[in-house]
């Protein structure tokens, strides 16, 4: 079964729309911001949001989705922690004619099994980071260490592939170590400590590429504790554009980040509203914008602006 139009009636009949949201957890500042924004967007629109925190476990997400289906919610939002293993539960939602919208991460399942996905082009983000590094080192030899996101998650897979594409033409740049830091600050620091130790105290590392800002912030701490200057001795490029990385950019301790909006729920709720109103089928992928920020892009101003926004 695929997402049908019958759920239109269900949502239209009840005065209030109820949406279940299965969130991954709170591994990063970006994730926390997405949760906040999703709750705000629901409230603004008068949507009742059933929030479920999976604490990083797919089995908890699948259980949450099953409980949303059993309750008969009007729609489901899910940020899938990993890409595989969703077919059965998505089929169950489709059987129940409950539209599912993916937020910020993708699944390997057939697109027929969800209404739409809201997210950035994760490969593009990695490519932008890689291309930035190619320019920054201008032909000089550069040994890169990479902190990957959660193993098996679409951003970890795609941001790795994208970065490799971005540096593909540059023989002077080489990824010498690559390991997961699970998108967390704590793991970013621990894994960076191991990288530094393995690479001559850090002297042999030219740049760090982290799949998110939180891991970069943890790694920056490790670099400082190793007696090196992040942003100078070791270049730091990451993804998300959370307030803390703008602070690091302003302090010269990070070099570049690729912005990812935490407002995935706004476009998701817009698509659901149109779908419930008259059956309008959204595009299968609603792409949010990505842009690069460097130390030259007024990081202090960006920090202030992001602080004011709350993310």
Shortest separation between residue 111's beta carbon and ligand GYE, angstroms: 19
Of 197, 126, 136, 233, the closest CA to residue 189 belongs to 197
* Interacting span for ligand GYE (CB under 6 A) from 25-33, 60-68, 227-235, 284-292: 25-33
- How many residues bind ligand GYE (CB under 6 A)? The answer is 13
Numbers of helices and strands, H then E, in the chain: 11, 12
* Interacting span for ligand GYE (CB under 6 A) from 4-12, 13-21, 23-31, 137-145: 23-31
Binder to ligand GYE among 260, 268, 271, 272 (CB under 6 A)?
260
For residues 51 and 22, is the Cβ–Cβ distance under 8 A?
no
Burial zone of 151 (CB within 10 Å; 0-12 exposed, 13-18 middle, 19+ buried): exposed
Instruction: Give the count of beta carbons closer than 10 Å to the beta carbon of residue 14.
Output: 12
Of 240, 143, 142, the closest CA to residue 188 belongs to 240
Contact map string, positions 191 to 220, toward ligand GYE, x by CB under 6 A? ---------------------x-x------
Per CB under 6 A, does 180 bind ligand GYE?
no
Q: How far apart are the first and last CA of the chain?
A: 39
Q: Which of residues 212 and 255 has its CB atom nearest to ligand GYE in the complex?
A: 212
Q: Which of residues 29 and 299 has its CB atom nearest to ligand GYE in the complex?
A: 29
Q: How far is the C-alpha of 292 from the C-alpha of 163, rounded, in Å? A: 14
Q: Which of residues 74 and 104 has its CB atom nearest to ligand GYE in the complex?
A: 104
Binder to ligand GYE among 22, 23, 28, 38 (CB under 6 A)?
28
Q: Which of residues 246 and 276 has its CB atom nearest to ligand GYE in the complex?
A: 246
Q: In what order do the strands lie in the sheet with 285-287?
A: 48-53, 18-23, 75-78, 100-103, 116-119, 285-287
Shortest separation between residue 206's beta carbon and ligand GYE, angstroms: 24
Binder to ligand GYE among 20, 99, 126, 155 (CB under 6 A)?
155
Going 70 to 74 to 79 to 80, the CA torsion angle's sign is: positive
Extract the runs of DSSP E, i.e. beta strands, from the chain. 18-23, 48-53, 75-78, 100-103, 116-119, 142-148, 173-180, 207-210, 235-240, 256-259, 285-287, 292-294
Binder to ligand GYE among 17, 22, 31, 257 (CB under 6 A)?
31
Alpha carbon separation from 263 to 38, 82, 96, 119, 188 (Å, rounded) = 7, 20, 27, 9, 25
Binder to ligand GYE among 27, 41, 182, 253 (CB under 6 A)?
27
Q: How far is the C-alpha of 71 from the C-alpha of 52, rounded, in Å? A: 14
Binder to ligand GYE among 163, 183, 246, 303 (CB under 6 A)?
183
Per CB under 6 A, does 240 bind ligand GYE?
yes
Considering only residues 86 to 125 of the shown chain, the ones binding ligand GYE according to CB under 6 A are: 104-105
How many angstroms separate the most distant Cα atoms in the chain?
66
Per CB under 6 A, does 126 bind ligand GYE?
no
* Interacting span for ligand GYE (CB under 6 A) from 24-32, 59-67, 168-176, 300-308: 24-32
Q: Which of residues 71 and 151 has its CB atom nearest to ligand GYE in the complex?
A: 151
Q: What is the dihedral of CA 25, 271, 243, 132, to 10 degrees?
A: 100
For residues 64 and 86, is the Cβ–Cβ distance under 8 A?
no
Shortest separation between residue 213's beta carbon and ligand GYE, angstroms: 7
Binder to ligand GYE among 30, 114, 195, 303 (CB under 6 A)?
30
Residues binding ligand GYE (CB under 6 A) = 27-28, 30-31, 104-105, 155, 183, 212, 214, 239-240, 260
């Amino acid at each position: 079964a695929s997402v049908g139009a019958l759920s239109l009636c269900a949502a239209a009949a009840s005065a209030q729309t109820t949406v279940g949201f299965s969130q991954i957890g709170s591994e990063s500042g970006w994730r926390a911001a997405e949760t906040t924004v999703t709750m705000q967007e629901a409230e603004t629109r008068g949507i009742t949001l059933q929030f479920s925190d999976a604490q990083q476990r797919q089995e908890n997400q699948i259980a949450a989705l099953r409980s949303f289906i059993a309750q008969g919610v009007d729609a489901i939002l899910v940020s899938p922690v990993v890409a595989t293993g969703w077919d059965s539960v998505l089929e169950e939602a489709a059987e129940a004619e409950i539209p599912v919208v993916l937020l910020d991460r993708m699944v390997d399942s057939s697109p027929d099994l969800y209404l739409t996905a809201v997210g950035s082009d994760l490969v593009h983000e990695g490519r932008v980071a890689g291309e930035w590094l190619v320019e920054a080192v201008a032909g000089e030899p550069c040994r890169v260490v990479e902190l990957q996101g959660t193993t098996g998650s679409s951003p970890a897979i795609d941001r790795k592939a994208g970065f490799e594409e971005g540096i593909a033409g540059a023989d002077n740049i080489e990824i010498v170590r690559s390991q997961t830091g699970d998108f967390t600050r704590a793991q970013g620091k621990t894994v960076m400590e191991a990288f530094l130790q393995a690479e001559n105290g850090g002297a042999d590392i030219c740049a760090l590429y982290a799949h998110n800002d939180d891991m970069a912030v943890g790694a920056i701490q490790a670099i400082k504790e190793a007696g090196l200057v992040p942003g100078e001795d070791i270049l730091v490029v990451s993804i998300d554009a959370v307030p803390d990385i703008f602070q690091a950019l302003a302090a010269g301790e990070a070099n570049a980040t690729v912005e990812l909006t935490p407002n995935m729920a706004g476009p998701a709720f817009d698509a659901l509203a149109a779908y419930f109103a008259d059956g309008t089928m959204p595009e299968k992928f609603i792409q949010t914008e990505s842009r690069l920020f460097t130390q030259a892009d007024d990081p202090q101003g960006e920090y202030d602006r992001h602080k004011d926004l709350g993310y």
